[in-house]
């Protein structure tokens, strides 16, 4: 997880959930974290869309099983929008 975008996204999630960033990894799933309830899930989606503008739909976002998949979806979406 050396990529600065990876760290920025994880920090965004940690900040929204009011967790120490060390509690989150690329393998962290929403159901692993008590604070990551449906309301926070929606807020995280909106924050990611606002900060990183990946153009993901909520269905695409929701299909990501863990933080690593979410980051991959964001990067793929950003690459598609550049082409």
DSSP secondary structure code for residue 36 in this structure:
-
Q: pTM here? A: 0.88
Segment (H or E) for 65:
none
Domain residue limits, the chain? 4-82
| CA 47 centroid distance within chain | 9
Beta strands in the chain (DSSP E): none
Alpha-carbon span 59 to 78, nearest angstrom? 17
22-40 pLDDT, tens digit per residue, is: 999 999 999 999 999 999 9
- The highest-level CATH class for domain 4-82 is mainly alpha
52-81 pLDDT, tens digit per residue, is: 888 899 999 999 999 999 999 999 887 776
CB atoms within 10 A of CB 23: 14
């Amino acid at each position: 997880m050396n990529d600065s975008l990876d760290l920025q996204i994880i920090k965004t999630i940690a900040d929204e959930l009011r967790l120490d960033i060390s509690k989150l990894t690329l393998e962290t799933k929403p159901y692993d974290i008590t604070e990551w309830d449906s309301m926070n899930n929606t807020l995280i989606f909106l924050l990611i869309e606002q900060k990183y503008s990946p153009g993901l739909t909520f269905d695409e976002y929701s299909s990501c099983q863990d933080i690593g998949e979410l980051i991959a979806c964001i990067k793929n979406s950003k690459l598609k929008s550049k082409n």
